[in-house]
Amino acid sequence: MQWSKDKIMGRAAVAATVAAWKVEGRKVVFTNGCFDLLHLGHVDYLEKARHLGDALVVGVNTDTSVSCLKPGRPLQDEVSRTRILASLLFVDAVVLFDEPTPLALIEATLPDILVKGDDYAISGIVGHELVLQNGGQVLTVPLVAGYSTTRIVERILKGS
């Protein structure tokens, strides 16, 4: 059994791990996000993403990156967010990225499948050209309606 902490990797380690998985013939799926408050929508999305291949790599925005994208966030620090994600059985690797987008991480891993939620158009998914040029697929998966961290925060602030 792999400990969840062992699934949290740096960029070089995840690139080497992905390369080894590919040598073994495993199809590698990559997705990314902030994953500030893990909720049903996240879990459903990640599980669907994992079922598209043999291993799921999740890129997670660092605290600095999140705060640039979403003022006043994150609510949970990057150590908490990565550890919670790594505890999910269907997540195989978690890696932080500090840039505004995960493009450098996608370049380092060259996943077989790049996936985001269906709130994205394929053309709007960062790294889609690179993955397609390298013979991979870019897909979207349906999201569970009504679940978002923003909505949860709003409900907490309203007291309902």
Residues 95 and 160: their CA atoms lie apart, in Å, by: 34
What are the helix (H) ranges across 51-101? 63-69, 78-86
If you average pLDDT over residues 103-118, what whole number do you get? 97
Among 69-73, 74-78, 121-125, which is the least confidently predicted range? 69-73
Cβ-in-10-Å burial (0-12, 13-18, 19+) of 130 comes to middle
Residues 137 and 37: their CA atoms lie apart, in Å, by: 28
Residue 151 has pLDDT above 80, yes or no: no
Among 54-63, 89-98, 132-141, 144-153, which is the least confidently predicted range? 144-153
